[in-house]
Amino acid sequence: MEKLKMGEFKIDSDDSIIQQMKEALYACPNVLKRCKQMGMTDEVIDDNIIKIYEYVRDVNYCRKCPGLKMCKKDNAYLNTTFTYSNNIVETQLVPCKELLKRVSFERQFTVKDFPDEWLDARVSDYDELVRTNQKNGNNPIIKAMEALTFYELNKETRWVYMRGGNRTGKSHLAATMVIDLAKKEIKGKVPICFIDFSKRVRELNDLSRKNQDEFKKKLDLYSTVPVLVIDGFGQEFRSDYIRDAIVNEIISSRSNKQLFTIFTSNFSLREIEVLYACNNEAGAIMSKQMVKTIKAMCTKEIEFGDIPLFE
């Protein structure tokens, strides 16, 4: 008789697959122990082996969890469990622990202006990138590790400012940092905003003319959220009003409250100072003060250079 493959079983007959399920159960003592503690007799176990085996299979697979992104189960992100009452075994699917963790830390992102696939980013991923992307001394991945080291040492007290060209990995690294904060609950379960600064400044500028209540609400959020990433700093539309009423308001408020902030930018702080002067003497003074505040909180700029990390 030709063998058919079903899961990890080689099937010759129904009796053969049932026997293999039983062997899998007895090779999983924790599941067997649970069955016994629930009051199941050997006869009940035999009669319900197909249902119980679904749980055994999940336990064995999830013991070496590859992570949500790599989950290959038919019931991905779910776990089979079972109950026993009145000689009846019932199975049900419940969210797996990794999914619950993901949902928990995702909820911390009040604003998330980055792709969903970045949610799987891990600080440890950069160790592998170092091994595979060491091209030269100005390699952005080396600068990324410098930024990570600075972040790990100073995340309670210092801001992070990362300057580099397009596709040097600044935004991804910033997302990785705050995802790390969320997962480790380093600051507890606190709200986090990762904002595309050009998009959000444009939104605030529009609201300032159309809806003052909503403008104040959003401006207060960015000024007081415990963790903020300002992504693409300097690429936003700039004017005296935007500098003084929006950008400097966010920066000065966060500085006064000592709230953790990460900047990514294509521009150095010296260039930011020139850009935000807006070609007038009074603007130059305000811009200089704003940049001085950032420098005081960052203590250093981390320069990524212009070599793309992503081809």
Which of 45-49, 87-91, 263-267, 307-311 is the most confident on average? 263-267
Q: Distance between the two ends of the chain, CA-based, in angstroms? A: 53
Produce one character per residue of 47-66: b if its CB has 16 or more CB atoms within 10 Å, e if not: ebbeebbbbbbbbeebeeee
Domain ranges of the chain: 4-96, 107-305
- What percent of the chain is predicted at pLDDT more than 90? 50
User: Phi/psi of residue 130, each to 5°?
Assistant: -60, -40
For residue 104, give every residue at least 6 positions away whose Cβ sits within 8 Å of its Cβ, in sequence order, or none: 189
Q: What is the pTM of this model?
A: 0.74
Q: Helix, strand, or coil here: 14?
A: helix
Beta-strand ranges (E) seen in 113-251 are: 160-164, 192-196, 227-233
Given this model, what pLDDT does residue 141 score? 63
Amino acid present at 103: V
CA diameter of the chain = 90
Which of 31-40, 77-86, 212-221, 299-308 is the most confident on average? 212-221
Secondary structure (H, E, C), 243-300: HHHHHHHHHHHHHHHCCEEEEEECCCHHHHHHHCCCCCHHHHHHHHHHHHHHHHHHCC
Secondary element (H or E) of residue 41 = none
Angle subtended at Cα 135 by Cα 129 and Cα 141, rounded to the nearest 5 degrees: 40
CATH entry, 107-305, from 3.30.565.10, 3.40.50.300, 2.60.120.10, 3.40.50.2300: 3.40.50.300
CB contact at 8 A, 281 and 295: no
CB contact at 8 A, 108 and 191: yes
User: pLDDT averaged over the chain?
Assistant: 85
CB contact at 8 A, 158 and 300: no
Which of 77-86, 146-155, 198-207 is the most confident on average? 198-207
CA distance 56 to 50: 10
CB contact at 8 A, 97 and 109: no
pLDDT digits (tens, 9 = 90+) for 77-127: 888 899 999 888 999 999 888 888 778 888 889 999 999 889 888 877 776
Structure tokens at 147: 């930024």
